[in-house]
């Protein structure tokens, strides 16, 4: 059944239906409603997990790391400065190949202080060895959390689900919460392989000291396994939606899998690339072009490429979409200060390696929660066609 729920509530109910063994978190806006709801479910006797209060985000990450190392399902959530406080532990979690699941309610970072949404927090850990998913809306956020556990446990890799703070966490939308019995059918019981978790009957060492003779090969294995995860991500996406039936594909959607979605014209002149809730705004611009002043001809040649999986970057999927495109505008809520947007830098690199001359330009917007309007997207479509290629801040 569809319900009208706050995004945070939808995620909390989904996590409760997944039934992890241990949850630990520290409140931080705009993540707080998720863990408040989980704590209340536990206090009201509606949850079976162990809820451990932590004195900081560093402690919360350490608690779920330790719990996961004993061979059980775990969950935590954070945002912004809280994510930054977790960074050391997040690298450890990936290096020890622990299937930890984290929700990041994306928010800008200090200074100056902001509590509103952008993606600068998530970009700080893009090289930590985590699978990183970005949700456009409430339903996609719910679905990605369930799939995250399947991916993490099969691949022995941690997964971070990114949802835009306030834009998704504090707004209401219709959403289907997967039933706990159906989730159990999909996920099954978590039984990690012997030797991959701490067991007094079978002693092992996790995250051991590595000499120069071994460290590089260990990191390469992590890299190779992340890259190879593309196949499983797509397989599980198809399996999930066949079983749960929570998504109806719009007519404008030409490509839809666990890595990307392409929406719009089959042979676009302009492709706008984005992640998260911003994608919905861009789709509205394409659909309602007459209302914001775009001509019918221009709009018919505009496409929207949504990156669902940012790490590992779906290189081949991206190249297929932009192969015959003249202009690519990468629209991001983050900036690699002193350079470009991180996603734009990635896409420029893979296009260059393919030997293409497609114009790829970086556009930064929505930092610190600034509203992104249809007029701003219209301006980006016009700007990317001009004879310049510097990074541009819009709005």
Q: Which of 34-43, 64-73, 320-329, 330-339 has the lowest mean pLDDT?
A: 320-329
What does the pLDDT look like over 182-210, one tens digit per residue? 999 999 999 999 999 999 999 999 999 99
Same domain for 191 and 331? no
What does the pLDDT look like over 99-132, one tens digit per residue? 999 999 999 999 999 999 999 999 999 999 999 9
For residue 321, is pLDDT > 70? yes
For residue 290, is pLDDT > 60? no
Same domain for 203 and 300? no
What does the pLDDT look like over 23-57, one tens digit per residue? 999 999 999 999 999 999 999 999 999 999 999 99
Residue 269 domain-assigned?
yes
Residue 213 domain-assigned?
yes
For residue 78, is pLDDT > 70? yes
Same domain for 240 and 346? no
Domain that holds residue 366: 254-393
Same domain for 133 and 67? yes
Summary mean pLDDT of the chain: 95
Closest CA to 139 of 328, 308, 322: 308
Same domain for 170 and 304? no
In sequence order, the β-bridge partners of residue 27 are none
Domain containing residue 316: CATH number: 3.40.50.920
| Residue 79 parent element (H or E) | none
Same domain for 46 and 133? yes
In sequence order, the β-bridge partners of residue 273 are 305, 330
Q: Into how many domains does the chain fold?
A: 2
Residue 132 three-state SS: strand
Q: Note the pTM of the prediction, 2 decimals.
A: 0.96
Show the tokens assigned to 170.
């504090």
What does the pLDDT look like over 170-189, one tens digit per residue? 999 999 999 999 999 999 99
Find the mean pLDDT for residues 221-233.
98
Residue 320 domain-assigned?
yes
Residue 149 domain-assigned?
yes
Residue 175 domain-assigned?
yes
Distance (Å, rounded) from C-alpha 118 to C-alpha 63?
Answer: 27
Residue 249 domain-assigned?
no
Same domain for 38 and 183? yes
Find the mean pLDDT for residues 241-251.
92
HSE-up of residue 115 (Cα within 13 Å, Cβ side): 9
Q: Which residue, 219, 244, 269, sits at the end of a domain?
A: 244
Residue 264 domain-assigned?
yes
Residue 145 domain-assigned?
yes
Give me the sign of the Cα torsion angle 8, 232, 24, 19: positive
Q: Which residue, 244, 266, 288, sits at the end of a domain?
A: 244
For residue 352, is pLDDT > 90? no
Phi, psi of 169 (to 5 degrees): -65, -35
Show the tokens assigned to 274.
């984005």
Quick one: pLDDT band at residue 289, thresholds 50, 70, 90?
A: low
Same domain for 154 and 272? no
Residue 283 CB contacts under 8 Å (≥ 6 apart), including other chains: 252, 263, 304
Same domain for 344 and 232? no
Q: What is the pLDDT of residue 384?
A: 96
């Amino acid at each position: 059944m569809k319900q009208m729920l706050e995004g945070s509530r939808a995620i909390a109910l989904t996590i409760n239906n997944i039934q992890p063994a241990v949850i630990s978190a520290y409140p931080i806006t705009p993540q707080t409603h998720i863990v408040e709801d989980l704590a209340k479910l536990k206090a009201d006797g509606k949850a079976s997990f162990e809820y451990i209060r932590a004195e900081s985000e560093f402690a919360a990450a350490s608690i779920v790391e330790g719990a996961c190392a004993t061979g059980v399902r775990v969950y935590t959530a954070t945002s912004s400065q809280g994510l930054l406080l977790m960074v050391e532990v997040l690298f450890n979690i990936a290096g020890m190949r622990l299937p930890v699941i984290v929700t990041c309610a994306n928010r800008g970072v200090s200074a100056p202080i902001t509590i509103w949404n952008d993606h600068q927090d998530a970009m700080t850990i893009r090289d930590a060895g985590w699978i990183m998913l970005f949700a456009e809306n409430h339903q996609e956020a719910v679905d990605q959390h369930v799939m995250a556990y399947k991916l993490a446990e099969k691949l022995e890799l941690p997964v971070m689900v990114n949802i835009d703070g306030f834009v998704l966490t504090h707004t209401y939308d219709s959403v289907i919460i997967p039933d706990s019995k159906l989730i159990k059918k999909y996920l099954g019981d978590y039984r990690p392989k012997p030797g991959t978790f701490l067991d007094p009957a079978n002693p092992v060492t996790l995250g051991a000291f590595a000499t120069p003779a071994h460290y590089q090969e260990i990191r390469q294995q992590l890299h190779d396994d992340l890259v190879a995860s593309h196949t499983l991500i797509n397989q599980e996406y198809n399996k999930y939606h066949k079983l749960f039936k929570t998504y109806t594909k719009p007519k404008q959607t030409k490509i839809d899998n666990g890595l990307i979605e392409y929406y719009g014209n089959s042979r676009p002149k302009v492709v706008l690339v984005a992640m998260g809730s911003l994608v919905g705004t861009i789709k509205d611009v394409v659909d309602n072009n007459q209302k914001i002043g775009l001509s019918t001809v221009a709009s018919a040649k505009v496409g929207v490429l949504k990156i669902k999986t940012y790490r590992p970057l779906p290189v081949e999927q991206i190249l297929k979409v932009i192969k015959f495109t003249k202009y690519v505008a990468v629209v991001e809520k983050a900036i690699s200060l002193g350079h470009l947007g991180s996603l734009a830098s990635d896409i420029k690199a893979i296009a260059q390696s393919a030997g293409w001359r497609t114009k790829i330009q970086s556009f930064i917007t929505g930092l610190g929660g600034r509203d992104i309007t249809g007029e701003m997207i219209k301006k980006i479509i016009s700007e990317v066609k001009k004879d310049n290629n510097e990074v541009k801040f819009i709005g």
